[in-house]
Amino acid sequence: MKNIKRGRVIFLFVLVLCICAVFIARLFQLQIIDGKAYRERSVNTIVSTSVIKASRGSILDRYGTPLAQDKQTMSVIVDRTLAEDINAELCRLVEIFDSSEDEYINTFPISYSESEGYSFDESYSEEETAAALTGYLESKDIDPAASAAEIAEQLAEYYELEGYTSAQAAGIIGARYELEQRGVGNVFTFAEDISIQTATMIKENASALKSVSVEQIPTRVYSYENSCSHVLGYVGRIYASEYDQLREQGYKLDDIVGKSGIEKIYEPYLRGKDGSQSVSKDSDGVITSVISSTEAVSGSDVILTVDSRMQLIVEDALQRLVRNVRALNGDSAATSASVVIMDPDNGQVLSLANYPTFNLSTYYEDYDILSKDESSPYVNRAIAGLYPPGSTFKMVTATAALETGAVNASTIYDCTGRYTYYNDYQPACFNSTVHGEVDVIEAIKRSCNSYFFDAVRLTGIDKLVSYAELYGFGSVTGIELSGELPGIIAGPEYRYSQDGTWNSGDTLLAGIGQSDNLVTPMQLAVYTSAVANGGTRYTPHIVHSVRDSLTGEILQQSVPEGVSLGISASTMQLIRDGMYACAQEQGGSAYNSFADYTATTVCAKTGTAEYASELPTALLVGYAPAEDPEIAFVVVVEHSGTSVTRYLASLVKEVLNYYFSSQAQTAG
């Protein structure tokens, strides 16, 4: 028994010795024989963590057609921690781009040329740019009030750029400015959406560009040039002034965010969730292994109420309308224009277009020029353009007069071409036209000023203001777009707020949409829709829903929000009969423009808002079909001159031809 125990002990002793020998041999192999190789590999292996940018959600039209979406493009990323000499690498990178057709991101507002030396760019005049430069320079104890040359000289000294030419130093300074302004840690995006040729040049210079990599990054693209720009809005990198607030929401300084329009308002939905990847790289920057990876999650899709095909028709027709008006009334005519097409039964906006407009794809390239353009192409005139409504306002006056009993369906006014109730103020009908005996339907049909002068006198300005407010004038409509203006309802309250006076003549002019009255095309669309549907004012919507881009789950759904105006059916019918007569009966102010139109029955009201020393503004509002309205329209052309109703009507007919044809789809 003792021999057996002794044998077991010896066996275990030998086993332990063998195991120790194996470990010792392995350690000898690792430390003595292969130690040098492993030390070199350890020194030359770098662990790098990069962000995988998430795609923004798409913006789609009512039928799912993409209007704005992300596509994968090649971007140049610089990671300073991988650079042996960051200045040398940035210099080489700038040289590559200078020799290619691609551009790199450079918002540094000081440029260099052989002929002029260092000088401030036009962008320096922008408050945001100047503030960013000031903060950047102060962090380096450089006086922001110094000249461009002095600033460049001090920055060259700060970044130790001795030995570089002025042109090279300018490129390096610009790149390092971007790194500090936009960089996430030591990483920043040097260029976006580069060509294969440029990517190839970078890879061929890999040994000299160890901090540089070419990666697939989502980039915003638009399906149609210049289309729906005021609705979609633009995206851009986070400004330094925005970052303090956005950082709390998990944004990084290099992120892309919505800056205007739907892109900004629905940013929380459109924004995706970035992923990350940690890799090991060898000394040449080649990835040797993936340590960990988290996938990016795309943002949600925003589905608009807009019909993109109708939108294109409207935008094309609007361009032709402006050309035709200018050909008739001179190049100074038609300074701006706006169109809104709406479903009167729910407030959904089918089309919203403005003239002038801009190209989202080239927003930043065009900004310096367009921001100084007197025509203000960046203004969304449909919600922020203020225009006198002119005679399109007469349905408000008719409503107030009929509902208060100041007039009724049988009330006749004998128009002599001039309103002579007051001795000291006797305004005329347009062109002093004599309309003879007219009732409310005939007055709307022929746009008789004198009838409405008498109607508002009998009704009173306070009641007129109340009914204007009821229709939605004087307050924002609530559409899902920023920058909407409330407009002005003419009356004593507003006039007194401006330290003015109010008299009887002002009341007369207010009754025909003149005086201080100012409205937006969107307000006119809401008002016209309320007449079309029989008295319900809907909050306009341009967003149909928000949908999870992966699961298809509806995250948000717009629902019709209507308020009954409480206007009697008889009043609404008289007004609708007047609009029908305006477009369908001989003598109507829109009859010549719609007499030969047979695709559907149009009801309309024309308007001409006169100015003291400028061309009048033309307006056309209406709906179709007369029997059961499905579509309401508003067209406004600022300073168009006279005799242009046919051009406005031509645009409307193109829209109606599409809507009532087999081209139009049915919403799913």
Q: Which two tokens stand for residue 543?
A: 């967003």
> Do the beta carbons of residue 229 and residue 360 sit within 8 Å?
yes
Q: Which two tokens stand for residue 45?
A: 């292996």
Q: Give the pLDDT score at 181.
A: 81
Q: Give the pLDDT score at 31.
A: 60
Q: Which two tokens stand for residue 141?
A: 């104890």
Q: Over 60: is that where the pLDDT of 398 sits?
A: yes
C-alpha closest to that of 450 among 409, 495, 391: 391
Q: Give the pLDDT score at 217.
A: 86
DSSP class of 502: -
Q: Pairing relation of β-strands 256-258 and 235-237?
A: antiparallel
Residue whose structure tokens are 């809104």: 340
Q: How far apart are CA 63 and CA 303, in angstroms?
A: 8
Higher pLDDT, 328 or 80: 328
Homologous superfamily of domain range 308-368+376-659? DD-peptidase/beta-lactamase superfamily (3.40.710.10)
Least confident of 76-85, 441-450, 532-541: 76-85
DSSP-assigned states of every residue in 206-232: GGG-TTEEEEEEEEEEESSTTSSHHHH
Tell me the per-residue pLDDT of 564-609, one tens digit each, with 9 for 90 and over. Answer: 999 999 999 999 999 999 999 999 999 999 999 999 999 999 999 9
DSSP-assigned states of every residue in 433-467: ---EEE-HHHHHHHT-HHHHHHHHHHH-HHHHHHH
Domain ranges across the chain = 47-304, 308-368+376-659
Global pTM?
Answer: 0.84
Average pLDDT over residues 355-381: 92
> Residue 52, exposed/middle/buried by CB under 10 A (0-12, 13-18, 19+)?
middle
Element (H, E) at 342: strand 336-342
Tell me the per-residue pLDDT of 598-634, one tens digit each, with 9 for 90 and over. Answer: 999 999 999 999 877 789 999 999 999 999 999 999 9
> Do the beta carbons of residue 51 and residue 66 sit within 8 Å?
no
Tell me the per-residue pLDDT of 430-450, one tens digit each, with 9 for 90 and over. Answer: 889 999 999 999 999 999 999
C-alpha closest to that of 109 among 137, 73, 74: 137
Q: Give the pLDDT score at 95.
A: 95
Tell me the per-residue pLDDT of 635-666, one tens digit each, with 9 for 90 and over. Answer: 999 999 999 999 999 999 999 999 999 655 55
Matching fold, domains 47-304 and 308-368+376-659: no
Mark 541-578 as b/e (b = at least 16 C-beta within 10 Å): bbbbbbbebeeeeeeeebeeebeebebeeebbebbbbb
CATH of 47-304, one of 3.90.1310.10, 3.40.50.1100, 3.40.50.620, 3.40.50.2300: 3.90.1310.10
Report the DSSP beta bridge partners of residue 608. 618
Q: Which two tokens stand for residue 492?
A: 């004593």
SS3 615: coil
